[in-house]
Chain A
Amino acid sequence: QKEVEQDPGPLSVPEGAIVSLNCTYSNSAFQYFMWYRQYSRKGPELLMYTYSSGNKEDGRFTAQVDKSSKYISLFIRDSQPSDSATYLCAIRTGTYKYIFGTGTRLKVLA
């Protein structure tokens, strides 16, 4: 079993929809969870960061961690065409050491 699993998509939604992106992970000891956004032909950029369980909100984005299920989610409200990108979940597994999901491609249709 991979340490982090992510549905590759692609996911197509109409503009204004709520988007839910998810990852599962295998090690219950993991504490630091991140979401990155990667536009085509660009490097990933950090979108959200959460520590341990709970929710974190930043504008239209909400990151959620459910440690009991080993499940992390990113919700995008009022999705825009500019949100079209690949979204990568990432988990810190050690000091300065990270593992990434394979990414979910999202397309928001105008």
Chain B
Amino acid sequence: DARVTQTPRHKVTEMGQEVTMRCQPILGHNTVFWYRQTMMQGLELLAYFRNRAPLDDSGMPKDRFSAEMPDATLATLKIQPSEPRDSAVYFCASGSGQISYEQYFGPGTRLTVT
């Protein structure tokens, strides 16, 4: 049963600390997306990659957020330094790239910054 996995599932941290979230896309998928979900803003696209190359990260606050794909099986989203307004659920999704609307979402990382 192929699925996107994300770690950690929950993270509570203090303001100013570094946070790293990890995502393992479905094996063989070459498109990876990072989203943030809040009650107020809904689901917002932060960044996406194709074949490990970042195609668009215009949704990310550049001064504190960074996203990378060190290899085809791992995507990371890092926040440094974290702020209370970063509290949200962060989702990773992957797609094969062959079907333009296809995205399979992971279970999310629930981040709370105090």
Contacts and interface: CB of A to CB of B under 8 A. Distances in A.
Interface of A: 6, 32, 34, 41-46, 49, 88, 92, 95-103
A97 B101 contact: no
Interface in B89-114: 91, 93, 95, 97, 100-108
B8 to A, nearest CB: 14
Contacts of A43: 4, 91, 93, 105-108
Interface in B46-72: 48, 50, 55-56
22 contacts: A41-B108, A43-B91, A43-B105, A44-B91, A45-B105, A46-B101, A46-B102, A46-B103, A88-B42, A92-B100, A92-B101, A95-B100, A96-B33, A96-B48, A96-B50, A97-B48, A98-B45, A98-B103, A100-B42, A100-B44, A102-B42, A103-B42
B43 interface: yes
Given A32-B100, A43-B105, A46-B103, A96 B31 contact: yes
| Size category, B interface | 20 to 34
Interface of B: 4, 31, 33, 41-45, 48, 50, 55-56, 91, 93, 95, 97, 100-108
Contacts of A41: 107-108
A102 B50 CA distance: 26
A40 to B, nearest CB: 11
A8 to B, nearest CB: 9
Contact of A44 (B31, B43, B56, B101): B43
**Most interface-central of A41, A88, A96, A101 (chain B CB within 10 A):** A96
